[in-house]
Amino acid sequence: MSHEPTARETLAQPREILLVYDQDCPLCDSYCHMARIRDTIGTLLLVNARDDSDVMREITRRGLDIDQGMALKVDDVLYYGADAICALSLLSSRSGVFNRLNHWIFRSGTRARLLYPVLRECRNLFLKLLGRTKINNLGLQGNRRF
Amino acid sequence: MNIRCRVLIVGGYGTFGGRLVQLLENEPRLTLIVAGRSLSRATTCCASRPPAGAELVPATFDRSGDLAAQLRALEPDILVDASGPFQAYGDRPYRSSAFTPATNSDPSARSR
């Protein structure tokens, strides 16, 4: 019996896209769990920024403050903050209201850069109310509390 | 229902392909699939463009890979092969274009 390959099977090398964010933030966690990328691209792996991992070490090595923005790793490229959310929206599937809305809002880099600071402030406020401390991956002095 | 024509631009983040993207991006009836071997370069190219009428979609496409399967996955109506270097096309310079009719379908019949 002939087998019609699925979109994922047509990928020469299934790709893993890493999304690094603070899983202690309920807003970020809900957003990242709802985000879907297109089947033809690969698999989206969610990485907790509070855990030690290769990608977190790379983020720190590059001097990126994960408290100031999430990161998306595509191949060897790290997208950070507004760029990450814009790249994620471009790679996202268009299935479901959330993904369509996400794509429509953040596909523009300009719009993402305008809105991202607002979202980050909401995240910081939430974590402050929940009594969490910053990740402080760069180990800055006096940077533990929100 | 508003169905856009899907234009696959292989090498869409390169010099020639990028110029094609610039020229076509204001046309709201198009979905421009900006493709090449590097997904990150395709994504960066799409993210760098200002909000435009056409929908920009980054994708991977390897001209030396399984063309039929890749075209079936991306479902283009039109294929533009702008990948280079052009002098390295080999003895089958129109290989990718030759595959397109086999994957072409009635846009109104698509589920997405």
pLDDT digits (tens, 9 = 90+) for A74-84: 999 999 999 99
What single string gives the DSSP state of each residue in B87-104?
A: GG-TT-TTHHHHHHHHH-
Q: Please report, for chain A, the start and end positions of each structural domain, with discontinuous segments joined by +.
A: 8-130
ipTM above 0.85, yes or no: no
Q: Which of B39, B69, B70 sits opposite A74 (nearest CB)?
A: B39
- Out of B47, B57, B65, the one facing A12 most closely (by C-beta) is B65
What does the DSSP 8-state code read for residue A144? Answer: S
Asked if residue B85 has a cis previous peptide bond (ω within 30° of 0), the answer is yes
Between residues B109 and B36, the one the model is more confident about: B36
pLDDT number for residue A14: 67
pLDDT at B110: 47
> Are B61 and B37 in contact, with CB atoms under 8 Å apart?
yes
A76 lies within 8 A of chain B by CB = yes
- pLDDT, position B51: 79
Q: Which helix (H) or strand (E) holds B9?
A: strand B5-10
Size of interface A-B (CB pairs under 8 A): 61
The predicted pLDDT at position B100 comes to 61
CB contact under 8 A, B46 and A90: yes
What pLDDT score was predicted for residue A2?
46
User: What is the pLDDT confidence band of residue B107, given thresholds at 50, 70 and 90?
Assistant: very low
| Confidence bin at B68 (pLDDT 50/70/90) | confident
Confidence of residue B106 (pLDDT cuts 50, 70, 90): very low
Mean pLDDT computed over A46-63: 97
pLDDT band at B50 (very low <50, low <70, confident <90, very high): confident
Q: Kindly list the residues from chain A whose CB atom is less than 8 angstroms away from the CB atom of residue B47.
A: 83, 86-87, 90, 109
CB contacts of A40 in chain B (<8 Å) are: 59-60, 73-74
Q: Are A91 and A40 in contact (CB under 8 A)?
A: no
Task: Indicate if the pLDDT at residue A10 is higher than 90.
Answer: no
By Cβ distance, the residue of B58, B69, B73 closest to A91 is B58
